[in-house]
């Protein structure tokens, strides 16, 4: 099994729908992150969490919310999806930046 | 705030050496990281530099100069499988901020 599992892998949804992207990790790390990747813009931070009771906004949190259900689970929700949220979404976990982030395989989301 | 600058694209031939530069502007400095991402894949961690100098890991090396706010990733003995995007990253309040990435094309 992968260290970081994201579901679904691909999703097409309609404008205005609520959608949840799920992430689980088996690394036993406390820190988890959600990033969005658009072509030519690299990875942009949406939300991050250092433990179950800690949630922090990132660079582009508007239109998104998160839930840290357990140490191993961190889900991202789009409350009312819009077409410019079409992107590749990555979840990651780490014990610290010096040891690197472990990323999931990504969720490709298309909002039509 | 902070920003990172890296070239958008670099091309090199198989067997050659290539250097990918990254300059950063941060309000505080807590280390420079490098990640590799193949098309359609997830980013993978390559290296981390907290102190000035060169860190070597096999064919890949990473350099940091804190006084110049500059670092680079050096790839030696290039192979076709090294064709990928490479991102430098620095932390902001505990989470990494990534550059826009450098797409490396290795030609035969």
Name residue B62's beta-bridge partners.
B55, B73
Q: How does residue A18 score in pLDDT terms, banded at 50, 70 and 90?
A: very high
Contact A97 B96 (CB under 8 A): yes
Minimum distance, in Å, between the CA of residue A11 and any CA atom of chain B: 15
What integer is the mean pLDDT of B33-49? 96
* Rounded CA separation B64/B68 (Å): 9
Task: Output the pLDDT for position B3.
Answer: 87
Q: Over chain B, what is the mean pLDDT?
A: 94
CA B21 to chain centre: 7
- Each residue of B27-36: pLDDT tens digit? 778 899 999 9
pLDDT band at residue A2 using 50, 70 and 90 as cut-offs: confident
Alpha-carbon torsion A65, A92, B43, B61, what sign?
positive
Nearest to A97 among B33, B87, B99 (CB): B33
What pairing do the DSSP bridges indicate for beta strands B32-37 and B18-25? unpaired
DSSP B62-74: EEEETTTTEEEEE
* A46-86: pLDDT as tens digits: 999 999 999 999 999 999 999 999 999 999 999 999 999 99
| Residues forming beta bridges with residue B11, ordered by sequence position | B105
What single DSSP character describes residue A67?
A: E
Q: Is A102 on the interface with B (CB under 8 A)?
A: yes
- What's the mean pLDDT in B87-106? 93
| Partner A, chain B 23-42, Cβ-Cβ below 8 Å | 30-31, 33, 35, 41-42
CA dist list (Å): B30 to A74, B23, B55, B64, B66: 26, 14, 16, 12, 10
The DSSP 8-state label assigned to residue B6 in this structure reads: -
Confidence of residue A39 (pLDDT cuts 50, 70, 90): confident
Beta carbons of B42 and A90 less than 8 Å apart: yes
Contact between A75 and A24 (Cβ < 8 Å): no
Q: What are the residues facing B24 on neighbouring strands?
A: B4
Pick the closest to residue B102 from B16, B4, B14 (CA basis).
Answer: B4
Residue B100: what pLDDT? 95
Q: Is the pLDDT at B1 greater than 60, yes or no?
A: no
For residue B72, pLDDT over 60 is answered with yes
The answer to whether B100 and A105 have CB atoms below 8 angstroms apart is no
Give chain A's mean pLDDT. Answer: 95
C-alpha B61/C-alpha B39 separation (Å) is 22
Tokens of A3: 């260290």
Please, which residues 45-64 of chain A have a Cβ atom closer than 8 Å to chain B?
Answer: 45, 48, 50, 56, 58-59
A chain contacts of residue B91, beta-carbon cutoff 8 Å: 97
């Amino acid at each position: 099994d992968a260290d970081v599992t994201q579901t679904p892998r691909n999703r097409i949804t309609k404008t205005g729908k609520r959608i949840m992207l799920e992430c689980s990790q088996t690394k036993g790390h406390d820190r988890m992150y959600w990033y969005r990747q658009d072509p030519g813009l690299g990875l942009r931070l949406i939300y991050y969490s250092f433990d179950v009771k800690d949630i922090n906004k990132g660079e582009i949190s508007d239109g998104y919310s998160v839930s840290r259900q357990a140490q191993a689970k961190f889900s991202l929700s789009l409350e009312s999806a819009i077409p410019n949220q079409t992107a590749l979404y990555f979840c990651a976990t780490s014990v610290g930046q010096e040891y690197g982030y472990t990323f999931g395989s990504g969720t490709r989301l298309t909002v039509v | 705030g902070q920003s990172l600058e890296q070239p958008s694209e670099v091309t090199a031939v198989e067997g050659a050496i290539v250097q990918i530069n990254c300059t950063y502007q941060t309000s505080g400095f807590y280390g420079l990281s490098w990640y590799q991402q193949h098309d359609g894949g997830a980013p993978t961690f390559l290296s981390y530099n907290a102190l000035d100098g060169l860190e070597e890991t096999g064919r890949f090396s990473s350099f940091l100069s804190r006084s110049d706010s500059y670092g680079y990733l050096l790839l030696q003995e290039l192979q076709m499988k090294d064709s990928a995007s490479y991102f430098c990253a620095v932390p902001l309040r505990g989470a990494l901020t990534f550059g826009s990435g450098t797409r490396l094309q290795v030609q035969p």
